[in-house]
Structure 1
Amino acid sequence: MLTLIKAHGSENQFFLLDQTQLTQPLTTTELSWIARQLCHPQTGPLGGADGLLVIAPSANPTCLGAMRVINADGSEAKMCGNGLRTVSRYLAEKSGQTQFQIATPEATLSVIRSADLAPNVPAFSVQIAPISMAAANLPFAYHQRPELFNTAVPEFVDHQTFTAIAVPNPHLISFVDQLDSNVLGELGQRLNAPNPYFPEGVNVSFAKVLGPNRLFVQTYERGVGFTNACGTGMSATSLAFAMQYPTLFDPASDLVVLNPGGLVKTHVTLGKTPATSTLHLIGNATFSAKLTLDEHDLRAGKFSTALIATTREETAYQTFIHHVKQLTL
């Protein structure tokens, strides 16, 4: 028997699978197929999820473990900030450590246990890296520009400017006076279908500046669609905000970033270049349920036999978010 954990960061929903529980690790092809079954809102348990987070030992002896991110459509993402917080909690509880490193496909990242956001709302701070605005690293192509920073792109949306940042997932960010989900959804779908600008697709975020060091961000995620929150999207948007709105950015303080699923905090330290800047994402790591099932059933995509034990953490998180939003909006 093995245990899957249903978890979320800012209501960005995941299943956590620790490969060390299995008699033999699942292959990439198997993980892709299982993620599509597990995360589907109809076939998956507990209403599915946005992705499957795969935990395994790391070949790097300095890391406590390794994380892979399989999207709901079976594709693999380079990183997931909200997911990294939940994996950090899992490894912290498994090991008894509160500060360590986790290997991801693109970088080794530092994580640390933060103070609880509220009673029964545990939190972690995670490093978001590497950072690049170079066209080749996203990748993107637009009039042979080496990067895209606060640039009008009428082919995307009239009367809006766009900034492209990889962290390392590719993000396209636009600050708007009024957030229109229909426009965001249409652009997100268009840039994640075959297109001449982002050959591998891109996460698209619209952001509204609420005040000094305060934002609202909504993201259309590559491989998923609309989610309640995107950790790397909020991190990239925080960096874009610091660069585009220097009079509203206080580098000594955290940013408060609201999203449809709640809120996070980010901390931005601007370097001489985007690549030398640092980003940290701070937010909840909520375990809402644990599912116990046979390994054979997991491999067969048979989840109806799973024994599900829910926690009270989601109630605590919703109480916290309701209170905070009343104070911040």
Structure 2
Amino acid sequence: MLTLIKAHGSENQFFLLDQSQLTKPLTTTELSRTTRHLCHPQTGLLDGADGLLVIGSNPACLGTMRVINADGSEAKMCGNGLRTVSRYLAEKSGKSRFQVATLEANLDVSRSASLAPNVPAFSVQIAPISMAAATLPFAYHQLPELFNTAVPEFVPNQTFTAIAVPNPHLISFVDQIESDVLGDLGQRLNTPNPYFPEGVNVSFAKVLGPNRLFVQTYERGVGFTNACGTGMSATSLAFTMQFPTLFDPASDLVVLNPGGLVKTHVALGKTPATSTLRLIGNATFTAKITLDESDFRAGNFSTVRIETTDEEAAYQAFVHHAKRSVL
């Protein structure tokens, strides 16, 4: 029998698959096909999800994480997802601090104090960081990087900053977030375009006050999500550079999103690449799904057994109280 976990970080929804349970690990092609079916809101389980997080083994770390988006593409990293994988590995191993291998880096993770009763939390490193156009990759008038720069081809009268962490992000601080404008730009930059040949996650952010932000993200390979962990992390770094008088380096940033809120910690280095980022937030398990491995491989979910938890109600109560206190 195989057990999947339905989980979320700031309502960024995932299924967790530990490949060690399988008689034979799924190939990349099989993972892509399975994810598209599993995460689809109509054909999948429990109204689908934003992606599948695939947990494996690595001799240098406690475990590995691969991120398969809902459309079957693979992302380099997922900050919200890493918190849920960290919780899974912590409970499996009994450890509270360790490393998880992602596609580009081995990242430090640790258990944090619960945000509220029955709302477990984890702190995860977000790295590596780069603003180099070649790294993102990005091209606009041969600029070596994009920082607080007007790009009228994107949206008139807005400035943009591009940061890879390592997923590529395009960030714009605005007085008011217009979801239709964000959605249009996100769609344009994630179809063939001359600026981001591999697509990009697009975030609009509103500054709420010192160390306070609201961020909404259109994610590459997914579309609108309730939250994007690497997007909130990249936006936090951009905020510290663009609004230095509103940044208190001694305190965490509080970042609100449509799915709740997280905290980020930014330690600025001499360059963005030498800065450090940490993302702190919930790791909520909402259901455990049990099924035969053969059915899972065949995409047959008709015989699954689902055991829900009471963690979602606790998370929603936390979000309601926390947003009232922040706003």
For the residues of structure 2 that align with 1:181 and 1:48, how far apart are their CA atoms? 22
Q: Distance in 2 between matches of 1:135 and 1:301?
A: 40
- The Cα of 1:304 is off from its aligned counterpart by 1.8
Q: Take 2:300 and 2:53, find their aligned partners in 1: how far apart are those partners?
A: 18
The alpha-carbon deviation at position 317 of structure 1 amounts to 0.1
Cα separation, 1, equivalents of 2:211 and 2:142: 33
Aligned partners of 1:45 and 1:304 also within 8 Å: no
Q: Could you say which residue in structure 1 is the equivalent of 2:239?
A: 241
In structure 2, stretches of 5+ residues that fail to align are: none
Which residue number corresponds to residue 267 of structure 1?
A: 265
Alpha-carbon distance in structure 2 between the residues aligned to 1:300 and 1:131? 39
- Between the aligned partners of 1:82 and 1:195, the Cα distance in structure 2 is 28
Q: Which residue pairs with 1:56 in the alignment?
A: 56
The alpha carbon displacement at 1:155 in A equals: 0.2
Tell me, what secondary structure is at the counterpart of 1:91?
helix
Match of 1:156 in 2: 154
Once residues 305 and 249 of structure 1 are traced to their aligned partners in structure 2, the CA distance between those partners, rounded to angstroms, is: 52
1:132 to 130, 138, 153: 130
- Give, in whole Å, the separation in 2 of the partners of 1:31 and 1:100: 26
The residue aligned with 1:34 is 34
Aligned partner letter, 2:146: L
**What is the CA–CA distance in structure 1 between the aligned matches of 2:182 and 2:229, rounded to whole Å?**
17
Post-superposition shift, 1:305? Answer: 1.0
User: 2-side partners of 1:62 and 1:118: how far apart?
Assistant: 33
The one-letter amino acid of 2:281's match is: G
Q: Structure 1 unaligned segments of length 5 or more: list them.
A: none
- Identity fraction in percent: 84
**What letter is aligned with 1:270?**
L
Find the counterpart in structure 2 of residue 92 from structure 1: 90
1:312: which partner in 2? 310
Distance (whole Å) between structure 2 residues aligned to residue 72 and residue 301 of structure 1: 15
**1:254 corresponds to:** 252
Amino acid at match of 1:318: Q
| 2:72 maps to which of 74, 80, 97 | 74
| Aligned equivalents of 2:286, 2:263: Cα separation in 1 | 21
Partner of 1:19: 19
Question: In structure 2, which of residues 188, 195, 198 is the aligned counterpart of residue 197 of structure 1?
Answer: 195
C-alpha distance in structure 1 between counterparts of 2:216 and 2:319, whole Å: 17
The residue identity in structure 2 corresponding to 1:89 is: R
Structure 2 residue aligned with 1:106, among 104, 107, 119? 104
1:188-242 Cα deviation digits (max 9, x unpaired) = 0000000000000000000000000000000000000000000000000000000
Moved over 2 A (4+): none
Contact 1:254–1:265 under 8 Å retained in 2: yes
Q: Could you say which residue in structure 2 is the equivalent of 1:210?
A: 208
- Displacement, 1:326? 1.1
**TM-fit CA distance, 1:303:** 1.2
Give the secondary structure class of the aligned counterpart of 1:137: coil
* 2:261 maps to 1:276: no
Q: Distance in 1 between matches of 2:228 and 2:4?
A: 22
Question: What letter is aligned with 1:113?
Answer: R
Query: 1:238 is aligned with what amino acid?
Result: S
In structure 2, distance between residues paired with 1:306 and 1:137: 42
SS at match of 1:15: strand
Secondary structure, aligned partner of 2:244: coil
Give the SS at the match of 1:13: strand
Q: How much has 1:62 moved relative to structure 2? A: 3.0
1:328 CA drift (Å): 1.1
Q: Which AA in structure 2 matches 1:307?
A: R
Query: Residue by residue, what CA displacement relative to the aligned partner does 1:90-124 show, whole Å, maximum 9, x if unpaired?
Result: 00000000000000000000000000000000000
Q: What letter matches 1:291 in structure 2?
A: I
Q: CA RMSD in A?
A: 0.4
TM-score between both structures, scaled by the size of structure 1: 0.99
**TM-score normalised by structure 2 residue count:** 1.00
Of 63, 66, 73 in structure 2, the residue corresponding to residue 65 of structure 1 is 63
Task: Give the Å deviation of 1:327.
Answer: 1.2
Shifted more, 299-308 versus 231-240: the winner is 299-308
